[in-house]
Amino acid sequence: MDVIDLRSDTLTKPTPAVREAMAKAEVGDDVYGEDPTVNKLQDVVAELVDKEAALFLPSGSMGNLISLYLHAGRGGEVLAHRDSHILHYELASGSAIAGCQILGLPGHRGVLTPEVLEPALRGPIYYNARTKLVELENTGNLAGGTCYSMSELEALGAWARSKNLPVHLDGARLWNASTATGLSPAALSAVADTVTVCLSKGLGAPVGSVLAGTKVFIAEARRVRKMLGGGMRQAGILAAAGLFVLENHRERMADDHEHARLLAVALNSTSWARVATLPETNIVFADTTLAAHVIVTKLQSQGVLCSAMGENKVRFVTHLDVGRSAIDRACEILAKIS
């Protein structure tokens, strides 16, 4: 039985073409700044998100941590959505390593608005934490792969500028947001001083994220990356995979979004699941009448893997390694469960 693994879009395995690009990569020592493939990837991503410079990193979590370290630092406070990845899935590294605290704020669909941010801004009283950064996530992972609209981004950017606050964009799935909204990665990043993007999710690279910002910021980020143990040597072998997937796997992301919609529709015609709002990108959350772990086990026995995300909530994530026929089969299996 071929397992249809919809637990996460990080599960993709490099295709033969990706492996070939990796095998052929020209490399050098990146701690010396001499890996031509890493340098090329950094240039390509900087241009895609319209920032001056970029830095290749082992993970998106490191990109977010470096940003918290440099923008907020010890005693600084970060305004983020309460469902954000930095609050839930990054080991409190902001406090453990960067020394900042993160204030988790509400907002429909994972979206932060000036109305929510304004009252969270600390006044200049000496015993207050110092508000140092606005962090936003696009797409919003825990919100269900939701996208900011351009007007939401512009309102947030205008507010942050008026308060002299930098903005960091966790764009782990910025490519999905771009595909879904038709807005370019550069347009989606215009709100942000710094942006992290992942190559290892739906795009299908085995490893890697990129942090982009000003030249001055990225020079500092290089120092912090090394301090965190993220200085890599012949990393061009990994960067080559990133370059390949950026060029070849972005357009097909629309398929993942269509597959997520098909799953949502199939879930809504079962007796045991409800998808309240149809997915905007590649993440489907369903509320379940049966306990989530029961659903996970039942589906697993039929060859479909998903994640329990709470007592009565399951998550399906579509990606490069699950094609249309597998999705059709998954939909049939969903219909059979009761």
Ligand X SMILES: *Cc1c(COP(=O)(O)O)cnc(C)c1O
Q: Is 288 in the site for ligand X (CB under 6 A)?
A: no
Decide: is 137 part of the binding site for ligand X (CB under 6 A): yes
- Does residue 15 touch ligand X according to CB under 6 A? no
Closer residue to ligand X in complex, CB, 59/234 = 59
Contacting ligand X within 227-256 (CB under 6 A): none
Least distance from ligand X to the Cβ atom of residue 56, Å: 12
Judged by CB under 6 A, the chain residues 163 through 192 that form the site for ligand X are: 170, 172
Strand ranges (DSSP E) for the chain? 4-5, 53-57, 76-81, 101-105, 130-137, 167-171, 194-198, 209-213, 273-274, 283-288, 304-305, 307-308, 313-317
Per-residue binding string, ligand X, 97-136, x by CB under 6 A, is: ----------------------------------------
- Residue 6 contacts by C-beta under 8 Å, 6 or more apart in sequence? 263, 304, 305, 306, 316, 317, 318, 322, 330
> Which 8-state DSSP code applies to residue 34?
-
Give CA–CA dist 90/94, Å, rounded.
8
Q: Which of 198, 239, 262, 292 binds ligand X (CB under 6 A)?
A: 198
Place of tokens 């919609």: 261
In the list 12, 131, 141, 281, the residue contacting ligand X (rule: CB under 6 A) is 141
Q: Would you say 241 or 331 has its CB closer to ligand X? A: 241
Which residue of 15, 39, 59, 234 would you call a contact of ligand X, by CB under 6 A? Answer: 59
Which of 51, 71, 85, 315 is in the footprint of ligand X by CB under 6 A? 85
Tell which residue, 10, 8, 14, has the closest CA to residue 242: 14
How many CA atoms lie within 13 Å of 287's alpha carbon, on the beta-carbon side? 5
Residue ranges that bind ligand X, judged by CB under 6 A: 59-61, 64, 85, 137, 141, 170, 172, 198, 200, 209
